[in-house]
């Protein structure tokens, strides 16, 4: 099992009464809440945390893209990934990812991801999300009626830009370019592994199966709530005649470890409540612009309660459900996997059994956790949980993992001395 | 209230509904935001004196998934032009509401001979930074009826699922109408119609609900100042954005007396 360390980069100083005084953490969150000088420290702490996770031996470090979002300060995850590529040497860097339809022309993504792959020596995992309605339709003004077609076309263009040897003209419905010829070209051939974060739509599962991409369900509501979706995914794989290789899938989970359960509750209750009650406070009016969900997905949602529509809708559904919820609820419902190392191991083994996912993306900084607590959580997990989880799924080959250049071929980076909180 | 005669024409490969009722000279109507999933009293008022003809717009109720092949504004105006011609409305009087009014104005601007007299109820297509229209897509479901109509019950009645309708396809059709509007007008509602208004030479009646919560009333004067032909503006007291749903009699009377 691959254990990947995922940072959302939340603004950590939203006010106590955020939920009461402000309509949404996303899209129209007020600029007065953002203090750039405080954010300077947040960014630098967050990048320290990602580098620390790499030093602790996590299988990958992950970043993602959000816009106008108080819980995700990475409009450009590529900027962060670029810095990480220079401050780490071996660890794969998972950019989860670039919302293809937002880039004009989309060859920008082919270029930047190729740059990251070259700078890092072939360590990039290329994530291609459609993007939430909040990011794409509202913050970025994309037409919800054309978003998916644009996304699929941009995907085709990026893939061709990575793989075609000669300059070519692209005559798409939404993109026309006379000369496509990106420099640089990716180290990984024919291209970096492609992972697709998505909600529970059958069409996405089918497309991942067809293209042989990893499907990632990045819910914040944990493995118990995620089971229905992952069951649907595996049923569809079976129907399509695909094997049950757990590395076809990824899943995100909030995890909080300490010496004992009580200590964990003492340490992490504040941050978890901050995350679920403030960070995920999203105005429902941004949930579902008409056209964002395909009619097939709407039909499936109307026909069956199990197949919830897009990620964003379940996100906001979650926000509604969470009103007034406390740590006890988050723990009971599996939103947060928490406890001593043994207890966390037991829950994550249950997650592995139930969801059958080979790529586990761990949210170990959540809410307003500071660097010291984040690094504590990260280290104790790395030392006492990770070694016992790694052997899971050893019988399967991960065909979707980066293939970096051999260490001997890689550039020697100049020495640097990261300032560790422990020092 | 008896229903209209229904026929179907092909627009870009999609079956497109045309309603027809009444007798006398033809009068076309292009529906507003949300489209017309059912016949409404306003159309009966018009049909008392004219042959009222209602072609559906692509993607709106009765327009199938016609919006999905329309990528540009040129695609849209050509599709609506085809619908107008297929409905036998070339050269006829034309009325429209909201998104449909925007298309009616485009027809009169681009093909001046195709429209005799024009009536526009709070058209989409303009954007004034000082007074932007309300975003009709970023809305909680329960806020929509009161946004589009002064009397929320008027919208609710329009959209209520009729007995015997397919409980899955009905809501999808209503969402599709909002998607089709988004496909033309996302994100600001601004198709730069303002630039083409001087080409509209047909005598034009502008109607505005006094309670319109989507399109600011100041847009009426803005449009009137730019129209290329004679025009009048009438405020419909007590009506919201879809004034024809709130005050069917008043709006129909105003249109009928304008087209003569």
pLDDT digits (tens, 9 = 90+) for A361-410: 999 999 999 999 999 999 999 999 999 999 999 999 999 999 999 999 99
Tell me whether residues A298 and B137 touch, CB distance under 8 A.
no
Render pLDDT for B199-258 as a digit per residue (tens, 0 to 9).
999 999 999 999 999 999 999 999 999 999 999 999 999 999 999 999 999 999 999 999
Within a domain: A413? no
Question: A27 CB contacts (<8 Å, ≥6 apart)?
Answer: A68, A134, A138, A139, A283, A286
Instruction: Give me the pLDDT at residue B250, please.
Output: 98
Give residue B54's pLDDT band: very low, low, confident or very high (50, 70, 90). very high
**How far apart are the CA of A313 and the nearest CA of chain B, in angstroms?**
12
From B139, B143, B179, residue closest to A145, measured CB to CB = B179
Residues of B in contact with A289 (CB under 8 A): 137-138, 182
Instruction: Give me the pLDDT at residue B243, please.
Output: 98
- Quote the CA–CA distance of B144 and B17 in Å, as a whole number: 25
Percent of chain A's residues with pLDDT above 70: 93
**How far apart are the CA of B168 and the nearest CA of chain A, in angstroms?**
6
Give residue B1's pLDDT band: very low, low, confident or very high (50, 70, 90). low
Task: Check if the beta carbon of residue A25 is closer than 8 Å to that of residue A281.
Answer: yes
Q: Supply the DSSP string of A255-309, one letter for each residue.
A: EEE-SSHHHHHHHHHHHHHIIIIIIT---GGGS--TTSS-HHHHHHHHH-SSS--
Tell me whether residues A137 and B186 touch, CB distance under 8 A.
yes
Q: Is B71 on the interface with A (CB under 8 A)?
A: yes
Percent of chain A's residues with pLDDT above 90: 88
Instruction: Give me the pLDDT at residue A421, please.
Output: 58
Q: Is B75 on the interface with A (CB under 8 A)?
A: no
pTM of the model: 0.94
Instruction: Give me the pLDDT at residue A423, please.
Output: 53
Instruction: Give me the pLDDT at residue A297, please.
Output: 86
Pairing state between β B51-55 and B14-21: antiparallel
Tell me whether residues B71 and A146 touch, CB distance under 8 A.
yes
Within a domain: A366? yes
From B167, B172, B180, residue closest to A295, measured CB to CB = B172
Q: Which residue of B has its CA nearest to A292?
A: B179
Mean pLDDT rounded to a whole number for chain B: 97
Render pLDDT for B113-171 as a digit per residue (tens, 0 to 9).
999 999 999 999 999 999 999 999 999 999 999 999 999 999 999 999 999 999 999 99
Residues of A in contact with B171 (CB under 8 A): 298, 302
What residues does B232 pair with on adjacent strands? B205
In angstroms, how far apart are the furthest CA atoms of chain B?
Answer: 48
- Structural element, H or E, at residue B115: strand B115-121
Tell me whether residues B168 and A286 touch, CB distance under 8 A.
no
What residues does B160 pair with on adjacent strands? none
Closest C-alpha among B69, B73, B61 to residue B124: B73
Instruction: Give me the pLDDT at residue A319, please.
Output: 65
Render pLDDT for A233-292 as a digit per residue (tens, 0 to 9).
999 999 999 999 999 999 999 999 999 999 999 999 999 999 999 999 999 999 999 999
Q: Is A399 on the interface with B (CB under 8 A)?
A: no
Within a domain: A364? yes
Within a domain: A416? no
Within a domain: A28? yes
Size of interface A-B (CB pairs under 8 A): 59
Q: Torsions phi, psi of A106, nearest 5?
A: -65, -15
Does residue A308 have a pLDDT over 60?
no
Instruction: Give me the pLDDT at residue A324, please.
Output: 73
Does residue A183 have a pLDDT over 90?
yes
From B71, B178, B187, residue closest to A173, measured CB to CB = B71
Within a domain: A421? no
Within a domain: A38? yes
Question: How many domains, in total, are found in chain A?
Answer: 1
Render pLDDT for A73-117 as a digit per residue (tens, 0 to 9).
999 999 999 999 999 999 999 999 999 999 999 999 999 999 999
Does residue A312 have a pLDDT over 60?
no
Per CATH, the number for B5-259 is 3.40.50.1820
Domain that holds residue A297: 2-403
Residues of A in contact with B166 (CB under 8 A): none
Q: What is the CATH number of the domain that holds A342?
A: 3.20.20.30
- Cβ neighbours, 10 Å, residue B112: 14
Q: Is B168 on the interface with A (CB under 8 A)?
A: yes
Tell me whether residues B178 and A290 touch, CB distance under 8 A.
yes
Q: Supply the DSSP string of B128-172, one letter for each residue.
A: -TTSPPP-SSS--GGGHHHHH-SSHHHHHHHHSPPTTS-TTHHHH
Instruction: Give me the pLDDT at residue A378, please.
Output: 98
Q: Is B110 on the interface with A (CB under 8 A)?
A: no
Instruction: Give me the pLDDT at residue A307, please.
Output: 45
Q: How many residues does chain B have?
A: 260
- Quote the CA–CA distance of A203 and B65 in Å, as a whole number: 19
Average pLDDT over residues A1-20: 97
Within a domain: A67? yes
Tell me whether residues B137 and A144 touch, CB distance under 8 A.
yes
């Amino acid at each position: 099992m691959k254990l990947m360390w995922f940072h959302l980069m939340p603004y950590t100083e939203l006010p106590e009464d955020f939920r009461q005084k402000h309509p949404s953490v996303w899209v129209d969150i007020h600029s007065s809440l953002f203090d750039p000088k405080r954010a300077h420290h947040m960014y630098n702490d967050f990048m320290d945390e990602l580098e620390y996770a790499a030093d602790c031996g996590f299988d990958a470090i992950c970043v993602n893209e959000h816009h106008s979002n108080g819980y995700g300060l990475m409009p450009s995850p590529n900027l962060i990934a670029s810095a990480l590529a220079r401050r780490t040497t071996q660890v794969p860097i998972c950019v989860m990812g670039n919302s293809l339809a937002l880039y004009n022309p989309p060859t920008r993504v082919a270029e930047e991801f190729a740059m990251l792959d070259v700078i890092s020596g072939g360590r990039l995992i290329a994530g291609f999300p459609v993007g939430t309605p909040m990011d794409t339709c509202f913050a970025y003004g994309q037409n919800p009626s054309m978003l998916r077609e644009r996304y699929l076309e941009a995907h085709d263009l990026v893939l061709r830009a990575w793989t075609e040897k000669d300059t070519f003209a692209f005559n798409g419905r939404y993109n026309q370019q006379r000369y496509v010829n990106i420099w640089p070209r990716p180290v990984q051939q024919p291209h970096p592994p492609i992972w697709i974060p998505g909600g529970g739509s059958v069409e996405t599962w089918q497309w991942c199966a067809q293209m042989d991409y990893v499907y990632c369900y990045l819910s914040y509501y944990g493995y118990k709530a995620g089971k229905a979706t992952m069951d649907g995914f595996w049923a569809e794989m079976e129907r399509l005649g695909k094997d049950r290789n757990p590395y076809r899938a990824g899943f995100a989970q909030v995890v909080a470890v300490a010496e004992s359960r009580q200590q964990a509750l003492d340490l992490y209750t504040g941050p978890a409540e901050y995350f679920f009650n403030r960070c995920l406070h999203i105005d429902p009016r941004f949930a579902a612009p008409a056209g964002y969900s395909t009619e097939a997905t709407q039909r499936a949602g109307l026909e069956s309660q199990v197949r919830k529509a897009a990620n964003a809708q379940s996100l906001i559904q979650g926000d509604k459900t969470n009103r007034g919820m406390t740590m006890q609820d988050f723990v009971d419902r599996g939103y947060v996997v928490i406890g001593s190392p043994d207890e966390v191991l037991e829950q994550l083994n249950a997650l592995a059994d139930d969801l059958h996912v080979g790529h586990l993306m761990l949210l170990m900084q959540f809410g307003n956790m500071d660097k010291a607590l984040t690094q504590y959580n990260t280290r104790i997990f790395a030392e006492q949980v990770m070694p016992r989880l790694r052997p899971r799924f050893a019988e399967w080959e991960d065909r979707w993992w980066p293939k970096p250049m051999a260490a001997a071929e890689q550039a020697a980076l100049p020495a640097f001395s990261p300032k560790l909180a422990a020092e | 209230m008896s229903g209209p005669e229904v026929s179907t024409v092909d627009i870009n490969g999609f079956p497109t509904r045309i309603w027809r009722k009444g007798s006398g000279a033809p009068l076309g109507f292009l529906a507003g935001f949300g489209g017309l999933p059912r016949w409404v009293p306003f159309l009966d008022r018009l049909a008392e004196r004219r042959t009222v003809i209602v072609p559906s717009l692509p993607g709106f109720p009765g327009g199938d998934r016609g919006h999905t092949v329309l990528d540009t504004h040129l695609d849209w105006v050509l599709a609506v032009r085809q619908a107008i011609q297929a409905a036998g409305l070339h050269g006829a009087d034309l009325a429209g509401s909201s998104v449909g009014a925007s298309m009616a104005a485009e027809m009169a601007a681009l093909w001046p001979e195709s429209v005799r007299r024009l009536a526009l109820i709070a058209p989409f297509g303009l954007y004034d930074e000082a007074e932007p229209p309300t975003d009709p897509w970023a809305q909680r479901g329960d806020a929509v009826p009161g946004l589009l109509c002064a009397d929320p019950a008027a919208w609710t009645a329009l959209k209520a699922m009729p007995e015997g309708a397919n409980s899955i396809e009905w809501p999808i059709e209503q969402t599709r109408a909002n998607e089709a509007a988004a496909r033309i007008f996302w994100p600001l509602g601004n198709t730069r119609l303002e630039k083409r208004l001087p080409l509209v030479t047909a005598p034009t009646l502008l109607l505005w609900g006094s309670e319109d919560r989507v399109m600011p009333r100041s847009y009426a004067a803005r449009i009137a100042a730019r129209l290329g032909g004679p025009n009048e503006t009438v405020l419909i007291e007590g009506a919201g954005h879809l004034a024809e749903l709130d005050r069917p009699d008043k709006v129909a009377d105003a249109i009928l007396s304008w087209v003569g």
